[in-house]
Amino acid sequence: MTVGDVAREAYREGLPALSASAVGGLLAGVALSGMRAEFEAVAGLLVLVPALLATRGNVYGSLGARIATALHQGLVEPRLRGTDERLRAAVLAALLLGVVASVFSALVAWGALVALGEPRATVLELAVISFLAALLSGAVLAVVVVVVVFGGFRRGFNPDTLVGPIVTTAGDVFGVVFLWLAVQVVLGVL
């Protein structure tokens, strides 16, 4: 394979994913800008947003890389059967890690706000919002990761090229949407 072939392949695989990432990032930003009322209603929520979104991208990007590696090594077949224990274990581990990291982020954010004397919601509100947003976005992102990795692999794309931009952007979009939904639930219940 020549350098030109490698460059053409990189652009063929990467450019659509990066374009989708740019558009998705703008959508997430627009959704986030529409959450002013939620940020005012739940003091300290804005402090959590970067940690929650980073967690989605990191955890589910890692899940995608793990699945892509398993595909390349022949440990996983690119089809959903529901019987693949490796795939099921990887998805459940990512979901659990995402939820735990999000709740931990809420506790750290609340503690930092207390230490700085800043206004803040209760620790329970921040923790429940983080938990719900992580659980809901995690369930959707697990499906997105598997579809992107398996679909890309079956079409001859290197799933490693697709996972980064698509999954992190999907994490931002779904993270913001489910953060908004979690705030609505918590404000309506707590």
Tell me the pLDDT tens digit for each residue of 140-164: 999 999 999 999 999 888 888 888 8
Q: How many CA atoms lie within 13 A of 61 on its CB side?
A: 16
Q: With beta carbons less than 8 A apart as the criterion, state whether 37 and 151 touch.
A: no
Q: How confident is the model over 56-99, as pLDDT tens digits?
A: 999 999 999 999 999 999 998 888 777 789 999 999 999 999 99
Instruction: Indicate the pTM of the whole model.
Output: 0.87
Largest Cα–Cα distance of the chain, in whole Å? 61
Predicted pLDDT at 13: 67
Q: How far is CA 53 from CA 73, 74, 147, 188, in A?
A: 30, 31, 21, 23
> Residue 161: which of 56, 21, 27, 29 has the closest Cα?
21
Q: How confident is the model over 100-117, as pLDDT tens digits?
A: 999 999 999 999 999 999
The pair of structure tokens assigned to 19 is 């374009």
The pair of structure tokens assigned to 148 is 């992107």
Residue 9 pLDDT > 70, yes or no? yes
Predicted pLDDT at 95: 98
Q: How confident is the model over 41-50, as pLDDT tens digits?
A: 899 999 999 9
Q: Which domains does the chain have, with CATH numbers?
A: 3-189 (1.10.357.20)
